[in-house]
Amino acid sequence: MSKRRRAAPQGQVPPGGGGESERRRAAPQAPPVRGGETKRRRAAPQAGAPPGRGDEPMRRPAVPQDEAMWGPPAPEGEAMWRPAAPVGEGMWGPAAPQDEAMWAPAVPEGEAMRSGAGPEGGPGAPEGEVVAERGGKSKRRRASFEVEALSERGLTERQQRILFAVGTVLVVLLGGFGLTAIVSTLGVSAPASEQGSAADSIGLPHPDEYQAWPSPKLFAPLADRKADATGLKAEEVFGTKTLKSGKLTLKLLGRRLDGACAQVMWGGEVLAKLATTGCTQAVRGLYLSADRRYVAQYTLFNLAGQADAERFVQEMATLYRGGGWIRPLESPSASFVTDGYTEASGHAMGHYAGFVWVGRLDGQEPGPKDDFVSLTLAVRGAEKAIFRRVVAVTGPETPPAK
């Protein structure tokens, strides 16, 4: 490939005729400036080789004898330092074909250089196989991270990676929570079912409404159980077979005295509160109205002191909603409907805590003709036994002296 020569710098004259050529000293190096300043030009590398490579020194070839050292001046319109390249050729050689890489030979038609599968009908590099790269180096091709089912739904490879990453994080978190729950339960045993655990509370009825009442001053003599050390008896509290309030009459269906208070209640939270009251006895009585319309139960707890009784009846104001309640007595004649509507109230009387529980036998809510107030007053007739104990502690009133 021929190169155009640069114009000789001003002030220098080529050697005269006679066929003799004289080698001149190179002019001092100076930065290239348009307009005639001189600089030594590097030899162009061979066509097809990258810039800066090659074993030939970067020198200008010898000038023929019949030409000036710097050659004739370059025609106007041409670059001073860069030779004009033919159309379609680069600076260092012919332009590479469009289908070929600049420094590597073109991939034969029918084969894929990086893809796992070649073009139609052509062999491709199997997935995971070593693939040749530029410069003679080899590199194991990275397998594609795709799931066919997700790809069919339109998810890209990047979206699939994100989906798998999120799923992995969720699995780790759920596993951590599960492990924490298992470890936290080690060494913790649930209360036995006969002691009223929440596990066997399924199907047990509980009230829909509840009210708590503190101890009246009348029961101050019974504020401490030490002043009333005699234990309760079932016939003492439920000695009367019939209770009346206005036109309403209740008949006693059954009674029971328990020395272990935990057997009378269900629910872990209630049992925990009851254990702090010093309860030693619990007595229950079940009633049915004469017209077989209402069912009622009265339960009396013998606690350590008045403070325990008032605290316990007040705590039941929140615990009755699901934390636990009193177990109903069983009778073939009447019982509380599991999902029926009932009402209850707690009354502190010195160191005693009494609970009234009433409802309709059919489990329906009270209507205009239902008087739950009178029903509650009738059931509280069992509290006459507590009034008798107040008298037993304080003694009969002495009539004033005349």
Domain count across the chain: 1
In a domain, 36, yes or no: no
CB burial of residue 289 (10 Å; 0-12, 13-18, 19+): buried
CB burial of residue 397 (10 Å; 0-12, 13-18, 19+): exposed
Give residue-wise pLDDT tens across range 147-203.
Answer: 777 777 777 878 778 887 888 888 888 888 777 766 454 433 333 334 444 444 567
Q: Say what the pLDDT of residue 140 is.
A: 52
The rounded mean pLDDT for the chain is 73
> CA 65, CA 346: separation in Å to the nearest integer?
130
In a domain, 116, yes or no: no
Residues contacting 246, CB < 8 A, separation 6+: 374
In a domain, 37, yes or no: no
Tell me which of 379 and 162 has the higher pLDDT: 379
Q: Say what the pLDDT of residue 120 is.
A: 44
Bridge partners (DSSP) of residue 358 are: 296, 343
> CA 110, CA 123: separation in Å to the nearest integer?
7
Cβ atoms of 371 and 202 within 8 Å: the answer is no
In a domain, 319, yes or no: yes
In a domain, 327, yes or no: yes
- Closest by CA to 303, choosing from 225, 388, 393, is 225
pLDDT category at 72 given cuts 50, 70, 90 is low
Cβ atoms of 250 and 357 within 8 Å: the answer is no
- Closest by CA to 207, choosing from 360, 367, 373, is 360
> CA 104, CA 101: separation in Å to the nearest integer?
5
Give residue-wise pLDDT tens across range 75-84.
Answer: 554 444 454 4
In a domain, 349, yes or no: yes
Task: Measure CA 143 to chain center.
Answer: 33
> CA 281, CA 270: separation in Å to the nearest integer?
16
- What angle is formed at CA 343 by the lines to CA 341 and CA 346, rounded to 5 degrees? 155
Q: Say what the pLDDT of residue 43 is.
A: 45
Q: Say what the pLDDT of residue 156 is.
A: 82
Domain containing 369: what range? 198-394
- Closest by CA to 272, choosing from 320, 322, 324, is 324
Q: What is the DSSP secondary structure assignment for residue 120, as one 8-state letter?
A: T
What are the b/e assignments for 159-191, b being 16+ CB within 10 Å?
Answer: ebeeeeeeeeeeeeeeeeeeeeeeeeeeeeeeb
Please tell me the pTM assigned to this model. 0.52
Tell me which of 92 and 284 has the higher pLDDT: 284
In a domain, 96, yes or no: no
- Closest by CA to 200, choosing from 192, 208, 209, is 192
In a domain, 19, yes or no: no
